[in-house]
Amino acid sequence: ADNSREIVPQNAESPPGRGARPLTPVPTPEQITNLVDSHELYTEDLRKRMEDDWNLFVLTPFDAGEGYQEYTSNEPMTYFNKMTSSLASGKLKIRIPVTRANREKRERESAKERFILGLLQANDERLLRLGQPTLLESLSSYIDLRGRYFGRVMLVKDPMTGEVYADITPWDPLHVSWGMGPKGLKWICHK
């Protein structure tokens, strides 16, 4: 089968009246693998720091060397637990700013906020059914332990039932590679 398709340069104009964006070349699996491998090499020090932080959290015994007394403090784990608990027990607020809008616009923006809060609540219920922590719990631990957070956000339609639901899944930053472009995030891969 021929999977080739016409590639339109990024600076090409869209056909009149169609409003479509130009196609960009789809990377091959080899190109994706090369991007991920080069990013992992580039961020090797960051990943090493994340692993070292994990070792502090799980109280990996300290090795002082031969002839010295050794002591492993539980202070990093205690501090991590305190910070994660603080973040996870906080209240998530969604606010769409509206400046002196008319009543109808304010009500519309308020409905959007309630809709987003409902999506987040439904997503937390889905995560709990899968045996995973809630979104806020995951993000707070990744922020504390890894120093950053990543995730996937999409609407999914179940092909069997036709039900549409929000899938907001946090990813462990240790296993994520990404690339930045002039307009922000260009690509991301969870490995």
Summarised one tens digit per residue, pLDDT across range 15-73 is 444 555 655 677 888 999 999 999 999 999 999 999 999 998 888 888 888 888 888 88
Quick one: pLDDT at residue 67? 86
Q: C-alpha angle with apex 153: 183 to 108, nearest 5 degrees? A: 90
Q: What is the predicted pLDDT for the residue at 78?
A: 92
Residues in the chain: 191
Per residue in 146-163, pLDDT tens? 988 899 999 999 999 999
CA distances from 81 to 77, 123, 133, 142 (A): 6, 24, 15, 12
**Pair 151, 141: CB distance under 8 Å:** no
Is residue 2 predicted with pLDDT exceeding 60? no
Q: Which residue has the tokens 């501090």?
A: 79
Q: Give pLDDT, residue 19.
A: 53
- Confidence at residue 134, expressed as pLDDT on a 0 to 100 scale: 92
Q: pTM here?
A: 0.71
| CA torsion through residues 116, 119, 125, 129, sign | negative
How do residues 79-129 score in pLDDT, each as one tens digit?
999 999 998 888 888 888 877 768 888 888 889 999 999 999 999 999 999
Residue pLDDT, tens place only, 3-21: 444 443 444 444 444 555 6
